[in-house]
């Protein structure tokens, strides 16, 4: 329940944001965007100076680089190669350790203390991606408790995008650019000459509580209108779209389309797309034992459906060809994900396009099949 | 004591055939009994007669030197044994052995080929009955060749 | 009849990520490369399971493999028939009585044994596929009066590589079930059928319009069998298969066992054919 007083929008100055970081740092690991190795990645931050102030990114299929902005915006970029899943659904996780001793066999599965994260600068598409992974990990018949605890203790400060990334298509995926829900606080950066403010929307009681420790005042109608204009401008800047109408039936009805052969000639099966995608969740299990054979541990690691032995039976790999593995990734993301989890698996963040070494564009591939559908033949006995 | 025509008409191979067709075929037919272990025909012999199984089981086998003969298919009630009579040089390529007491109606191949040549309607009716069985056997053989139960 | 086979919502392990420790009570050799293990927990009793479900068996420090139950529900132990085809299954197949093994489960969907009451039952097994069907056979035979005709069709490579041969012979001695067995090839002392399992279907004694079919075996064999069953009149809604894909987590979170929209570990392994008919013949799906 959000009190009537806090329902109103607030305005916070750029300088005052430091108070927000400090308040969160008291009992959270504060994580936010920062520049490193020529990209904007997510890592621990303490000061406003750690943020990519005055930086922006330029993205295209297979291309990414940073450039200085003409202003000092703290969030004047879109998304980089990392997603928040690296904190919530960790790349490497020890599940348990098993020991063989005189007292028999014991299994230890203590996950240790659950880190409380505060995420600074979560975009609307990323909020949706987190919600999608929530469905996978917390709402199935076997919830992942470690994920669920990290998720529930995470404090989220969202940011409404001030510009569209060149590979973004959140509008057609209906996941942005405005953050609608799933955040504790949502910021919209307003820069006007010397004025550098943030409109703050409260999204939860926890958000309201933290905000009390930050110097702020009620937002003016002008500021609220300016924030809406920022969002509208971003909406209009979208450079590509994915037509989602009937997309599931289109892809599942064209599993033998020649376009799959076409993309297979370009796809390196490097798996970059699965690493950068904020919703890809596949993992593998590795069992290690020590040399004495008295203890062994099970480690879970991120995996990719592009690996040769991702799917196999005792005769060998089920998806030997790159064609079949690309098809698996794309049809899972855009079609069978809907059957499994009720929504599309794609949030339109554009990362897979930017970080594909050969610039394969999922929106172009889908459009190519839509332009010239070739449904499978070979039905029998009136198959559906 | 049933006549040859009645026996043929009741065989699954001819169960919905017109009486006139059955009568024509019966003119080429005679009954056989094979005891367990008896051969219906051997590889290399002229394919003079093929058999509609009325009772029992027949094994089709290949004899390779140094091996016990390998059975690759068994036929039972309702099946016909022998297809090489359909194509020149009309010579058997396998052995056919009765596994247990088997009653069969033998059809003289030359007689039936002659009648089919003279009466193309009869020929077409016979072809319509033989081909689906041969196609199914081909499909089954292909599945057998895959050795799906073997270790990979 | 439910889409996935028997609803097994209540048959899930307490902590599905962590193996429980079991002891090997008994090992019996089935074939040259196949053994059956009886497993009981070190403490307490084993959880209940539905025929068709599987456990993840853990070989210390080596890894896990998904193996279907193949025992009787009335039996105290989990019974698993394991073929040596890799590092993990090989290690498990070499365990001696008294050894310990990790076990997670039961997982997956079961055969529609309850839902099929009142129907004729056609069980079609190929090779090792008889193992996941055996619990369903035990269940059906224990409640024989609830079903119409019961037919078991079983195909093996050759007569000496025939799983559960003695049990098949015992079942055959009953007067209320039909068992037809066939092999891919044989030598002269074999007086049974030679040929593929689907070839047994046209002659089998069941009413195709009142029958439920349970199929398990190599995928190629299952495809041919489904075709043969549909040729005699069974509908896609009355045919159930046990699918197989590699599994890591067995709980629908790692993504490896995906088959179209389904996760074989939690939407299967037993699946009603109409659910997968559209992708069953798509190459490399």
Pick from C83, C155, C188, C200 the residue to mutate for testing the B interface (most B CBs within 10 Å): C188
CA distances from C3 to A383, B65, C52 (A): 16, 53, 15
- In percent, the amount of chain B with pLDDT more than 70 equals 98
SS3 C59: strand
Instruction: Provide the pLDDT for residue B145.
Output: 87
Question: Could you give the CA distance from residue A328 to residue A304 in angstroms, rounded to a whole number?
Answer: 11
Residues of chain A in contact with residue B152, where contact means CB-CB under 8 angstroms, are 314-316
Question: Could you give the CA distance from residue C238 to residue A276 in angstroms, rounded to a whole number?
Answer: 43
Residues of chain B in contact with residue C195, where contact means CB-CB under 8 angstroms, are 72-74, 140, 144
For residue A2, is pLDDT > 60? no
Res. C8 pLDDT band, cuts 50 70 90 = low
Q: How far is CA C36 from the centre of its chain?
A: 14
- The whole-model pTM stands at 0.89
Q: What is the mean pLDDT of residues C87-111?
A: 97
Contact B140 C85 (CB under 8 A): no
Question: Could you give the CA distance from residue A276 to residue A354 in angstroms, rounded to a whole number?
Answer: 10
Q: Say if strands C258-259 and C262-263 run parallel, antiparallel, or are unpaired.
A: antiparallel
Instruction: Provide the pLDDT for residue A110.
Output: 74
For residue A382, is pLDDT > 50? no
CA distance A331 to chain C (A): 9
Across A199-208, A209-218, B2-11, B64-73, least confident range = B64-73
Res. A172 pLDDT band, cuts 50 70 90 = very high
DSSP, res A220: P
Neighboring chains of C (3 or more beta-carbon pairs < 8 A) = A, B
pLDDT in tens, A18-49: 999 999 999 999 999 999 999 999 999 999 99
- Number of Cβ within 10 Å of residue B93's Cβ equals 11
Radius of gyration of chain C (CA): 18
Question: Could you give the CA distance from residue A253 to residue A247 in angstroms, rounded to a whole number?
Answer: 10
Res. A381 pLDDT band, cuts 50 70 90 = very low
For residue C1, is pLDDT > 70? no
DSSP, res A165: -
Instruction: Provide the pLDDT for residue C255.
Output: 97
For residue A298, is pLDDT > 80? yes
Instruction: From C102, C35, C96, C98, select the one nearest C63 (Cα to Cα).
Output: C102
Q: Does C72 touch chain B (CB under 8 A)?
A: no
Q: Which of C247 and C12 is assigned the larger pLDDT?
A: C247
Q: Say if strands B70-75 and A295-302 run parallel, antiparallel, or are unpaired.
A: unpaired
Res. B150 pLDDT band, cuts 50 70 90 = confident
For residue B67, is pLDDT > 90? no
Res. B152 pLDDT band, cuts 50 70 90 = low
Residues of chain A in contact with residue C227, where contact means CB-CB under 8 angstroms, are 380
For residue B99, is pLDDT > 70? yes
Q: What is the mean pLDDT of residues C163-185?
A: 96
Question: Could you give the CA distance from residue C56 to residue B50 in angstroms, rounded to a whole number?
Answer: 54
Tokens encoding C53: 């479900």
Across A371-375, C177-181, C237-241, least confident range = A371-375
Instruction: Provide the pLDDT for residue A6.
Output: 40
DSSP, res B78: T
List Cβ neighbours of C178 (8 Å cut-off, separation of 6 or more): C149, C150, C151, C152, C204, C205
Q: Which stretches does DSSP call E strand in A193-327?
A: 195-202, 217-218, 283-289, 295-302, 312-313, 316-317
Ranges for all domains in chain C classified under CATH 2.40.30.10? 20-107
For residue A376, is pLDDT > 70? no
- Average pLDDT over chain B, rounded to an integer: 92
Q: Does B146 touch chain A (CB under 8 A)?
A: no
Instruction: Provide the pLDDT for residue A384.
Output: 44
Instruction: From A139, A175, A383, A164, select the one nearest A281 (Cα to Cα).
Output: A139
For residue B116, is pLDDT > 90? yes
In the 3-class helix/strand/coil scheme, how is A283-318 assigned residue by residue?
EEEEEEECCCCCEEEEEEEECCCCCCCCCEECCEEC
Instruction: From B58, B74, B72, B52, select the one nearest B126 (Cα to Cα).
Output: B52
Segments making up each domain of chain B, as ranges: 4-145
SS3 A36: strand
Q: What is the CATH number of domain C20-107?
A: 2.40.30.10
Q: What is the mean pLDDT of residues C163-178?
A: 96
- Number of Cβ within 10 Å of residue C263's Cβ equals 24
For residue C137, is pLDDT > 70? yes
pLDDT in tens, A174-210: 999 999 999 999 999 999 989 999 999 999 999 999 9
Instruction: Provide the pLDDT for residue C3.
Output: 46
Q: Does A376 touch chain C (CB under 8 A)?
A: yes
Question: Could you give the CA distance from residue A25 to residue A253 in angstroms, rounded to a whole number?
Answer: 51
Q: Taking chain A, what is the end-to-end CA distance rounded to the nearest angstrom?
A: 48
| Residues in C 46-85 with any Cβ partner in A closer than 8 A | 58, 60-64, 85
- In percent, the amount of chain A with pLDDT more than 90 equals 88
Contact between A274 and A282 under an 8 Å Cβ cutoff? The reply is yes
Contact B149 C196 (CB under 8 A): no
- Tell me the CATH number of domain C120-242, given options 3.30.2290.10, 3.40.50.80, 3.30.360.10, 3.40.50.740: 3.40.50.80
| Phi/psi of residue C270, nearest 5 degrees | -80, 125
Q: Does A332 touch chain C (CB under 8 A)?
A: yes
Contact C284 A321 (CB under 8 A): yes
Contact between A183 and A166 under an 8 Å Cβ cutoff? The reply is no
Top-level class of domain B4-145: mainly beta
Instruction: Provide the pLDDT for residue A375.
Output: 79
Give C100's Cβ-side CA count (13 Å radius): 17
Res. C197 pLDDT band, cuts 50 70 90 = very high
Question: Could you give the CA distance from residue A188 to residue A229 in angstroms, rounded to a whole number?
Answer: 10
- Average pLDDT over chain C, rounded to an integer: 94
SS3 C38: strand
Instruction: Provide the pLDDT for residue C7.
Output: 52
Tokens encoding A379: 């039905």
Q: Which of A113 and C165 is assigned the larger pLDDT?
A: C165
pLDDT in tens, A321-333: 999 999 999 999 9
Contact between A351 and A57 under an 8 Å Cβ cutoff? The reply is no
- Average pLDDT over chain A, rounded to an integer: 93
For residue B84, is pLDDT > 80? yes
A225-242 as b/e: b if 16+ CB within 10 A: ebbeebbeebeebbebeb
Res. A306 pLDDT band, cuts 50 70 90 = very high
For residue B128, is pLDDT > 70? yes
Return the residue of B nearest to A315 by Cα: B152
Q: What is the mean pLDDT of residues A151-163?
A: 97
CA distances from A224 to A61, A177, A189, A217, A230 (A): 35, 16, 11, 13, 10
Neighboring chains of A (3 or more beta-carbon pairs < 8 A) = B, C
Instruction: From A119, A124, A39, select the one nearest A81 (Cα to Cα).
Output: A39
Contact C188 B73 (CB under 8 A): no
CA distance A260 to chain C (A): 12
Instruction: Provide the pLDDT for residue A378.
Output: 42
Across A4-18, A144-158, C124-138, least confident range = A4-18
Instruction: Provide the pLDDT for residue B1.
Output: 60
């Amino acid at each position: 329940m959000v009190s009537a007083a806090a329902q109103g929008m607030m305005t916070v100055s750029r300088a005052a944001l430091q108070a927000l970081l400090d308040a969160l740092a008291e009992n959270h690991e504060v994580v936010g965007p920062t520049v490193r190795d020529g990209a904007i990645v997510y890592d621990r931050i303490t000061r406003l100076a750690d943020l990519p102030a005055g930086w922006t990114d330029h993205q295209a299929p297979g291309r990414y680089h940073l450039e200085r902005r003409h202003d000092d915006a703290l969030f004047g970029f879109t998304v980089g190669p990392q997603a928040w899943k690296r904190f919530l659904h960790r790349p490497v996780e020890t599940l348990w350790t098993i020991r063989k001793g005189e007292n028999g066999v014991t299994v230890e599965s203590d996950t240790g203390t659950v880190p409380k994260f505060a995420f600074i600068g979560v975009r609307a598409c990323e909020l949706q991606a987190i919600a999608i992974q929530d469905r996978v990990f917390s709402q199935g018949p076997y919830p992942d408790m470690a994920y669920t605890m990290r998720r529930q203790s995470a404090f989220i400060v969202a940011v409404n995008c001030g510009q569209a990334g060149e590979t973004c298509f959140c509008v057609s995926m209906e996941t942005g650019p405005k953050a609608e829900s799933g955040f504790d606080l949502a910021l919209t950066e307003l820069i006007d000459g010397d004025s550098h403010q943030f409109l703050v929307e409260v999204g939860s009681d926890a958000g309201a509580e933290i905000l009390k420790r930050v110097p702020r005042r009620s937002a003016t109608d002008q500021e609220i209108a300016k924030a809406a204009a920022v969002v509208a401008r971003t909406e209009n800047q979208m450079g590509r779209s994915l037509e989602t109408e009937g997309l599931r039936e289109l892809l599942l009805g064209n599993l033998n389309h020649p376009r799959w052969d076409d993309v297979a000639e370009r796809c390196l099966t490097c798996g970059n797309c699965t690493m950068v995608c904020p919703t890809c969740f596949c993992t593998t299990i590795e069992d290690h034992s020590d040399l004495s054979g008295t203890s062994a541990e099970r480690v879970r690691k991120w995996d990719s459906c592009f690996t040769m032995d991702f799917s196999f039976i005792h005769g060998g790999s089920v998806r030997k060809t790159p064609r079949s593995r690309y098809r698996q990734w794309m049809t899972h993301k855009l079609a069978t994900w809907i059957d499994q989890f009720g929504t599309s698996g794609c949030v339109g963040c554009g990362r897979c396009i930017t970080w594909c070494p050969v610039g394969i564009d999922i929106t172009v591939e889908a459009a190519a099949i839509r332009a010239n559908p070739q449904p499978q033949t070979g039905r029998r006995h009136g198959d559906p | 004591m049933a006549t040859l025509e009645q026996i043929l008409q009741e065989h699954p191979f001819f169960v919905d055939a017109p009486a006139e067709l059955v009568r024509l075929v019966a003119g080429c037919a005679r009954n056989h009994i094979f005891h367990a272990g008896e051969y219906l025909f051997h590889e290399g012999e002229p394919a003079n007669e093929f058999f509609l199984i009325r009772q029992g089981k027949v094994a089709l086998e290949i004899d390779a030197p140094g091996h016990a003969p390998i059975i690759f298919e068994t036929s039972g009630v309702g099946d016909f044994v022998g297809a090489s009579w359909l194509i020149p040089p009309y010579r058997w390529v396998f052995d056919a052995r009765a596994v247990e007491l088997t009653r069969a109606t033998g059809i003289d191949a030359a007689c039936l080929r002659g009648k089919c040549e003279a009466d193309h309607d009869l020929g077409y009716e016979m072809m319509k009955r033989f081909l689906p069985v041969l196609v199914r056997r081909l499909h089954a053989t292909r599945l057998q060749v895959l050795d799906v139960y073997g270790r990979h | 009849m439910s889409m996935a086979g028997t609803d097994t919502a209540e048959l899930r392990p307490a902590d599905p990520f962590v193996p429980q420790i079991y002891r090997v009570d008994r090992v019996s050799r089935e074939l040259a490369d196949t053994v059956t293990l009886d497993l009981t927990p070190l403490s307490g009793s084993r959880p209940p399971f539905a025929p068709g479900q599987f456990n993840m068996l853990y070989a210390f420090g080596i890894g896990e493999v998904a193996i279907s139950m193949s025992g009787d529900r009335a039996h105290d132990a989990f019974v698993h028939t394991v073929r040596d085809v890799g590092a993990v299954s090989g290690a498990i197949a070499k365990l001696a009585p008294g050894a310990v093994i990790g076990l997670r489960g039961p997982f997956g969907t079961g055969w529609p044994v309850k839902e099929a009451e009142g129907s004729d039952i056609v069980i079609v097994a190929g090779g090792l596929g008889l193992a996941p069907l055996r619990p369903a056979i035990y269940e059906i035979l224990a409640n024989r009066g609830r079903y119409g005709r019961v037919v078991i069709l079983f195909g093996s490579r050759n007569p000496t590589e025939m799983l559960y041969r003695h049990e098949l012979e015992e079942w055959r001695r009953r007067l209320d079930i039909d068992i037809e067995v066939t092999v891919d090839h044989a030598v002269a002392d074999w007086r049974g059928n030679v040929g593929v399992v689907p070839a047994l279907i046209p002659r089998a004694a069941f009413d195709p319009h009142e029958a439920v079919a349970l199929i398990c075996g190599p995928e190629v064999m299952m495809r041919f069998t489904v075709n043969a069953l549909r040729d005699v009149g069974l509908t896609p809604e009355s045919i159930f298969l046990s699918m197989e894909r590699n599994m890591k987590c067995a709980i629908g979170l790692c993504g490896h066992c995906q088959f179209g929209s389904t996760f074989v570990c939690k939407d299967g392994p037993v699946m009603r054919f109409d659910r997968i008919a559209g992708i069953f013949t798509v190459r490399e799906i």
